[in-house]
Chains A and B, each alone.
Chain A
Amino acid sequence: MLLEKVGSVMVVGGGIAGVQAALDLANSGYYVYLVERSGAIGGSMARLSKTYPTNDCSM
């Protein structure tokens, strides 16, 4: 068993929520394992052409 707390976080799910959580943690000094079931991150948002209310491109 390790004695000290581990400075890494696992994020399960590579959709917009998982990606945002992973980025905030990585930019704050933690090692992040972003675990995604499919072959690429992006999740549901990657299927949207545009997003409301600004009609920005989802990519």
Chain B
Amino acid sequence: MPLTSVDRIQGELGQFHVTLREHPRYVDSQKCIACGECAQNCPERVPDELNEGINERKAIFLQYAQAVPLKYQIDADHCQKLRSGKCGICEKICPAGAIRFDDIERLISLWVGSIILAPGHRTFDPSGVRTWGYDVFPNVVTSIEFERYLASSGPTEGKLVRPSDGKEVKRLAFLQCVGSRDYNKASHGYCSSVCCMTSLKEAMIALDQVEGLEVSIFFMDMRTHGKGFERYYERARSRGVRFHRCRVHSLEPANEQGDIYFRFITDEGKQAHGEFDLVVLSVGMEPSRQGVALAKSLGLHLSGDGFSVTSSFAPVRTSIPGIYICGTFSGPKDIPQSIIQASAAAAEAMIPLADARYSLTEQPEPAPGRDIRGEETRIGVFICHCGSNVASVIDVEALAEYAATLPQVAHVERSLFACSEDSQQILRDLIVEKKLNRVVVAACTPRTHEHLFQETLKSAGLNEYLFEMANIRNQVSWVHAANPEAATAKGRDILRMSVAKVALLEPLDPVTVTVNPQALVVGGGVAGMVAALGLAEQGFPVHLVEKSGQLGGNARHLFQTWRGEPIQDFVDQLVTRVKEHTLITVHMRGQVTQAEGFMGSYRSTITKPHCTTAMDHGVAIFAMGGQAYKPEEYSYGQSPRILTALEFDKLHLVGDERIKHGRDFVFIQCVGSRVPERPYCSRVCCTHSIQSAIALKDEEPGRNVYVLYRDIRSFGQREELYKKARELGVIFINYDLHQKPVVRVQDADLSVVAWDHVLHDPFSIRADVVVLAAAIVPHPEVRDLARIYRIPVDEDGFLQEAHVKLRPVDFASEGLFLAGLAHYPKPIEEVVSQALAAVARATTVLSNRRIELDSIKARVDDAACDACALCLDVCPYHAITMEPIADGEAKQRIRVNLTRCKGCGICQATCPKDAINVGGFTYRQLSAQVRAALS
């Protein structure tokens, strides 16, 4: 429901009455075909919000090229006709008759069972602060504006030129923490969590685009605490990005040409200065204004910064039952965290409504598509420009002309974005109108877009397997950008191959599997228990397997969250609820030793002391957790007063005299993290040490507490703790990986020697207790389970999700999900969110009676098969069996279990008789493709 805002929410969980206000679009969405005639002829120019006002749009406009819905809208504040009654050109010119100047606002009334608020954020506006010179110097831009300069759909079509004179940028600077971690100029104490990575990314893209580009990043702490981020940071370093740990005071003009000059302090404490063609202000996040207004009208709890406040143990629940919150509105976060919270909110919203599932919707039925037997082959070829991605390299017009000459091609169509909604409609219409029965889309990669086009084929009544994608972007225009002619020739080759293959494709029948509604959860820590409860509360039986003799996992060793909430009470409640739930079976001291199957129908073997059980389930959630790294460095083990953070917590809690009577405490960060053997950040240790440091100071202000760190990563609102610690007099000392501190044990005395990077001298700190912030490492069980279920682990031994950004709780193998520390180190509220997210993702499977699988399966030609059984041995999925042709007969034949078969084709390659073929990849189809390549 676009152009709609919430007016009023009344009622309670299960029965909310909502009043919405739908604002006029002035364009009839049913009629608009998004041809763009209106905008081309509209005389009124308005700054384009998508591009941060860098260029202009018209008063009638599309938000962006791939907008959903792809319908124009009129900006009433700028439309001449709506303001003064003059003009009306668009109405005259619109071929669809879609313009509605008399469109009005409508009130919509709805009943809903629960509500999810995801109002998002806005970016900090640096205008008006003289120091940054944002609205003074044209060559100072925000990171969002810079993002648009880099975008191929942006105002410069991805060419990195500077605003003042269009000169190519050669010297680029990023200033971090603009509008974040800054009470003076921005009145925002929090860290926006994403900007360090945003700048690194923008730097890397810019380096790809401009040869010889010099990039400098001015920062306070590099906060690359997410999965894969530290490696990205290292890559940026190795590509020559310069990093300066320094907050820049003020920007000045360097000369008449528009260059920017500023002074800064080097790591060695020396004053330096630099001149830059373009300066990017890495701007932070603020809560969305509309979100704040809505939250206030509902009486929801907001922090002083305006972000919504939730409990770490119920991170997406608000104070009103039935209303949930997710995304950046509950604090700055990146895309995977937003997606995890979104799925978590979906889980929370669906749990109390389990009885009402399918009361308003129906389960989809598989459709095989129209019968094309007897039809002559008519191929439709669709060539996508991908904005300028393809069209700026490949001569798409020539390619289209060439496509028309290929055999059996009945129609050729080009489009700016084949993935956009209007192009999909055109494809749908053409399939029907031109009686197309095979389709080739020459565009990007099937990995991301094949499914979309297949759905379109389906909706046009055509079997979705009568389709081929020719990847003319990743395999052609991107890799051969320097040689357009050769690229166009290669585009022709790839297209010819696809056309040759598609002509021989046959419709494949839908393969469905009945879903077993039981779930398996591996790991009885917080993640596993939250996941088990989330599924059981919806009525799905759960088997929870815990390797040890106790539920609770790592959380048993933690006492409070960063907000100070008591963890043990929460864990105890979870354990009780799990044990009492009639739909949860706990397998204590259990281990999964064997597994087979596929989404909807898995069978896993659980081995316990003295018994082994096989259990059928539709999905599995892996939450095996992590464990603390046991330090080998910093003299750990040589003194009872050198402790890991977890050891310190316990001794502190019980009032051990080492801590009670201690005067000097030294915390050493990144012990085992961010080192060559483990090049990742453990995400929680900075906050943990700061919290302990605060507690020590609170108890006894006269104590000396030192934190030796590389970058303080108190991301998000945790920054408050960092500030508090500094105010209390905790001393933070930066150290470098190449000059790590040294812990000296001399008899009973402890000291830590660190390097003073200003005085260029080592200095020694006397210590009563040294606390090592030890890394979080994956649980060894992760690797075992990964082998059993054939799921990937990453370079660091954590589970590898399907997509780090967009599918953070899924695996590429469907029906399997992950949560908690087995995925990556994270604090407890993120563990709870991810476990709930896994519940929502698993429910998308469990809530179906049956699901449709990919139809690309091996099929046996009984006439050619002599039942030699070679294929049986090679099948890695045990999908092939021998069975008697008829009861009681000795002669046997080969059968393929279609639900087990993954269509890998090993059987096809092995069969000496060419009697087994994978649909969509038969020898005939593949050799046609190869012949076309060679012709």
Contacts from A to B (Cβ < 8 Å): 1-2, 4-22, 24-31, 33-56, 59
B460 contacts A by Cβ under 8 Å: no
Measured in the bound complex, the distance between the Cα atoms of B359 and A11 in whole Å is 18
Picked from B64, B113, B803, the residue with its CB within 8 Å of the CB of A40 is B64
Residues in A neighbouring B205, C-beta threshold 8 A:
49-50, 55
Does A5 lie within 8 Å of B355, measured CB to CB?
yes
How many Å from the CB of B469 to the closest CB on chain A? 16
Does A31 lie within 8 Å of B360, measured CB to CB?
yes
How many residue pairs at the A-B interface have CB separations less than 8 Å?
254
Does B346 lie within 8 Å of A21, measured CB to CB?
yes
Does A49 lie within 8 Å of B154, measured CB to CB?
yes
Does A2 lie within 8 Å of B327, measured CB to CB?
no
Residues in A neighbouring B584, C-beta threshold 8 A:
none
B121 contacts A by Cβ under 8 Å: yes
Picked from B67, B327, B342, B357, the residue with its CB within 8 Å of the CB of A24 is B342
Q: Can you list 6 A-B contacts with CB-CB less than 8 angstroms, sorted by A residue number?
A: A1-B15, A8-B360, A11-B116, A17-B328, A30-B357, A49-B158
Q: Which residue of B has the minimal Cβ distance to A4?
A: B356
B120 contacts A by Cβ under 8 Å: yes
Picked from B63, B229, B843, the residue with its CB within 8 Å of the CB of A53 is B229
Measured in the bound complex, the distance between the Cα atoms of B6 and A27 in whole Å is 24
| Interface bits B1-34 vs A (CB < 8 Å: 1, else 0) | 1111110000001111010100001000000000
Does A45 lie within 8 Å of B335, measured CB to CB?
yes
Measured in the bound complex, the distance between the Cα atoms of B355 and A5 in whole Å is 8
Q: Which 6 A-B pairs have the closest CB atoms?
A: A17-B327, A49-B151, A7-B356, A7-B359, A13-B118, A40-B67
Measured in the bound complex, the distance between the Cα atoms of B112 and A13 in whole Å is 16
Does A13 lie within 8 Å of B119, measured CB to CB?
yes
Measured in the bound complex, the distance between the Cα atoms of B50 and A12 in whole Å is 21
Measured in the bound complex, the distance between the Cα atoms of B18 and A42 in whole Å is 23
Does B341 lie within 8 Å of A17, measured CB to CB?
yes
How many Å from the CB of B815 to the closest CB on chain A? 13
Residues in A neighbouring B66, C-beta threshold 8 A:
42, 46, 59
Stretch of B68-76, B621-629, B666-674 contacting A (4+ beta carbons < 8 Å): B68-76
Does B345 lie within 8 Å of A37, measured CB to CB?
no
Residues in B neighbouring A17, C-beta threshold 8 A:
118, 120, 326-328, 338-339, 341-342, 345
B308 contacts A by Cβ under 8 Å: no
Q: Which residue of A has the minimal Cβ distance to B66?
A: A59
Contacts known (A53-B804, A54-B805, A55-B204); A9 close to B232, Cβ less than 8 A: no
B547 contacts A by Cβ under 8 Å: no
B294 contacts A by Cβ under 8 Å: yes
Which residues of B206-252 are within 8 A (CB) of A?
A: 226-229, 231-232
How many Å from the CB of A30 to the closest CB on chain B? 6
Does B63 lie within 8 Å of A10, measured CB to CB?
no
Residues in B neighbouring A10, C-beta threshold 8 A:
16, 18, 110, 112, 114-116
Contacts known (A17-B120, A24-B843, A28-B843); A9 close to B349, Cβ less than 8 A: yes
Which residues of B55-99 are within 8 A (CB) of A?
A: 62-64, 66-71, 73
How many Å from the CB of A26 to the closest CB on chain B? 7
Measured in the bound complex, the distance between the Cα atoms of B153 and A22 in whole Å is 27
Contacts known (A47-B144, A50-B205); A15 close to B4, Cβ less than 8 A: no
Does B804 lie within 8 Å of A33, measured CB to CB?
no
B353 contacts A by Cβ under 8 Å: yes
Contacts known (A2-B111, A37-B3, A37-B290); A13 close to B120, Cβ less than 8 A: yes
Contacts known (A6-B15, A15-B327, A40-B69); A29 close to B232, Cβ less than 8 A: no
B363 contacts A by Cβ under 8 Å: yes
B816 contacts A by Cβ under 8 Å: no
Does B847 lie within 8 Å of A28, measured CB to CB?
yes
Measured in the bound complex, the distance between the Cα atoms of B347 and A49 in whole Å is 30
Contacts from B to A (Cβ < 8 Å): 1-6, 13-16, 18, 20, 25, 50, 52, 62-64, 66-71, 73, 110-121, 123, 144, 147-148, 150-154, 158, 197-198, 200-201, 204-205, 226-229, 231-232, 288, 290-291, 294, 326-329, 335, 338-339, 341-343, 345-347, 349-350, 352-353, 355-361, 363, 419, 803-806, 840-841, 843-844, 847
Does A6 lie within 8 Å of B116, measured CB to CB?
no
Does B355 lie within 8 Å of A8, measured CB to CB?
no
Residues in B neighbouring A6, C-beta threshold 8 A:
14-16, 111-113, 353, 356, 359-360
Does A39 lie within 8 Å of B2, measured CB to CB?
yes
How many Å from the CB of A56 to the closest CB on chain B? 6
Residues in B neighbouring A2, C-beta threshold 8 A:
15, 111
Does B116 lie within 8 Å of A21, measured CB to CB?
yes
Picked from B151, B153, B327, B360, the residue with its CB within 8 Å of the CB of A18 is B327
Does B15 lie within 8 Å of A48, measured CB to CB?
no
Measured in the bound complex, the distance between the Cα atoms of B113 and A29 in whole Å is 13
Measured in the bound complex, the distance between the Cα atoms of B847 and A29 in whole Å is 7
Measured in the bound complex, the distance between the Cα atoms of B363 and A53 in whole Å is 37
Does A54 lie within 8 Å of B360, measured CB to CB?
no
Contacts known (A35-B6, A40-B68, A42-B67); A8 close to B342, Cβ less than 8 A: no
How many Å from the CB of A49 to the closest CB on chain B? 3
Measured in the bound complex, the distance between the Cα atoms of B352 and A13 in whole Å is 22
Q: Which residue of B has the minimal Cβ distance to A39?
A: B73
Measured in the bound complex, the distance between the Cα atoms of B346 and A10 in whole Å is 10
Does A39 lie within 8 Å of B346, measured CB to CB?
no
Measured in the bound complex, the distance between the Cα atoms of B357 and A9 in whole Å is 11
Contacts known (A7-B356, A28-B840); A15 close to B118, Cβ less than 8 A: yes
Does B1 lie within 8 Å of A34, measured CB to CB?
yes
Q: Which residue of B has the minimal Cβ distance to A44?
A: B120
Measured in the bound complex, the distance between the Cα atoms of B806 and A51 in whole Å is 10
Picked from A26, A45, A52, A59, the residue with its CB within 8 Å of the CB of B361 is A26
Does A12 lie within 8 Å of B353, measured CB to CB?
no
Measured in the bound complex, the distance between the Cα atoms of B291 and A39 in whole Å is 17
Q: Which residue of A has the minimal Cβ distance to B294?
A: A12
Q: Which residue of A has the minimal Cβ distance to B230?
A: A53
Contacts known (A7-B360, A29-B363); A24 close to B840, Cβ less than 8 A: yes
Residues in B neighbouring A16, C-beta threshold 8 A:
327, 335, 338-339, 342
Does A5 lie within 8 Å of B16, measured CB to CB?
no
Does B844 lie within 8 Å of A27, measured CB to CB?
yes
Q: Which residue of A has the minimal Cβ distance to B843?
A: A28
Picked from B147, B152, B326, B419, the residue with its CB within 8 Å of the CB of A21 is B326
Measured in the bound complex, the distance between the Cα atoms of B363 and A25 in whole Å is 13
Does B113 lie within 8 Å of A9, measured CB to CB?
yes
Beyond the given pairs A6-B113, A54-B805, 14 more chain A to chain B contacts, judged by CB atoms under 8 angstroms and listed by A's residue number, are A2-B111, A5-B15, A9-B114, A13-B118, A17-B339, A20-B338, A29-B847, A31-B360, A33-B110, A37-B5, A42-B67, A42-B68, A52-B198, A54-B803
Q: Which of B231, B341, B363, B805 has the most CB of A within 10 A?
A: B805
Measured in the bound complex, the distance between the Cα atoms of B226 and A50 in whole Å is 17
Does B847 lie within 8 Å of A20, measured CB to CB?
no
Measured in the bound complex, the distance between the Cα atoms of B363 and A29 in whole Å is 7
Residues in B neighbouring A46, C-beta threshold 8 A:
50, 63-64, 66
Measured in the bound complex, the distance between the Cα atoms of B468 and A24 in whole Å is 28
How many Å from the CB of B338 to the closest CB on chain A? 4
How many Å from the CB of A37 to the closest CB on chain B? 5
Measured in the bound complex, the distance between the Cα atoms of B356 and A4 in whole Å is 8
Contacts known (A17-B342, A42-B68, A55-B201); A25 close to B847, Cβ less than 8 A: no
Picked from B119, B121, B201, B288, the residue with its CB within 8 Å of the CB of A52 is B201
How many Å from the CB of A4 to the closest CB on chain B? 7
Measured in the bound complex, the distance between the Cα atoms of B358 and A51 in whole Å is 36
Residues in A neighbouring B70, C-beta threshold 8 A:
40
Residues in A neighbouring B339, C-beta threshold 8 A:
16-17, 20
How many Å from the CB of B875 to the closest CB on chain A? 31
Measured in the bound complex, the distance between the Cα atoms of B345 and A30 in whole Å is 14
Measured in the bound complex, the distance between the Cα atoms of B350 and A28 in whole Å is 8
